Amino acid sequence: MPSKISIRIDGELVHARLGQTILEVAAENNKPIPSLCSMKGLRPVGACRLCLVQVEGLGRMLPACTTPVQDGMSVTTDNAKLRGYRQMIIELLLAERNHVCAVCVANGHCELQTAAAKLGVMNTRYAYRYPNHKVDLSHSRFTLDHNRCILCSRCVRACAEVEGAHVWEIGGRGIGSLLVCELNRTWGESKHCTACGKCVQSCPTGALAEKGFAVEEMTKKPEPVSRIAAFREVRP
């Protein structure tokens, strides 16, 4: 099988390498697909479903981040139906927890907020749940606010795959799912956290932040985490 293949993205013929995902090929060809849980260098998991695309000949939609390209594939990345589903996903995320953007440490630097604006989400058609979620301030340098967490698991993967510390995990099921530190310890009690901050920099929202930052002040830099991940890949 040739390593160089051709696929169609929104009708345009583009070249791709075997092993790439639809999301990667689309981004390389200037057709960015919205995504939240995907981060360069981390194993894709298809958690947020924002990158759902249509593949010709298939009845169901597939997440672009976990779907490898195949020769001759024809992918639709944007149309009214996909846009409708993406708006729905954003609205469900906003309604699920207390994303009070106005007083969030990541206001103006949040990928969820940006995605909502880009997709033209003006309001949420679903009833807000207003859950009683806790804020963990026990770590000496960092904060965890479950109210802002979208369970994308970027922190889980950055810690496990790049730092190798395996501090984070998603516990519970369904609507009761929660980011947990080790065996449900507080972050401050963690036995394995190296305080490297890779989880914080990988977090797309204000769920993980550094202490000492006020509203709108927390900017995230996931690129260095991606670069370290890339170095690891080329090692024998």
Can you tell me the distance from the alpha carbon of 45 to that of 168, in angstroms, rounded to the nearest whole number? 15
Cβ atoms 133, 207 nearer than 8 A: no
Query: Least distance to another protein from the beta carbon of 112, Å?
Result: 9
Query: Least distance to another protein from the beta carbon of 100, Å?
Result: 6
Q: Considering beta carbons, is residue 1 or 214 the nearer one to another protein?
A: 214
Q: Considering beta carbons, is residue 102 or 183 the nearer one to another protein?
A: 102
- CB count within 10 Å of CB 63 equals 23
Q: Considering beta carbons, is residue 89 or 165 the nearer one to another protein?
A: 89
Q: Considering beta carbons, is residue 45 or 88 the nearer one to another protein?
A: 88
Q: Considering beta carbons, is residue 105 or 167 the nearer one to another protein?
A: 105
* Bridge partners (DSSP) listed for residue 75: 9, 55
For tokens 């593949």, the residue is 55
Q: What is the DSSP string of 44-73?
A: P---S-TTEEEETT-SS-EETTT-B--TT-
Query: Least distance to another protein from the beta carbon of 227, Å?
Result: 29
- Determine which residue in the list 113, 143, 153, 202 makes contact with another protein, applying CB under 8 A: 113
- Determine which residue in the list 84, 120, 164, 171 makes contact with another protein, applying CB under 8 A: 120
Give the residue among 36, 146, 142, 26 at the shortest CA–CA distance from 75: 26
Interaction with another protein in 72-101: which residues (CB under 8 A)?
94, 98-101
| Residue 19 backbone zone (phi > 0: left; psi -120 to 50: alpha; other: beta) | left
Q: Is residue 122 within the footprint of another protein (CB under 8 A)? A: yes
Interface residues toward another protein, by CB under 8 A: 94, 98-104, 107-108, 110, 113-114, 116-117, 120, 122-124, 127-128, 130-132
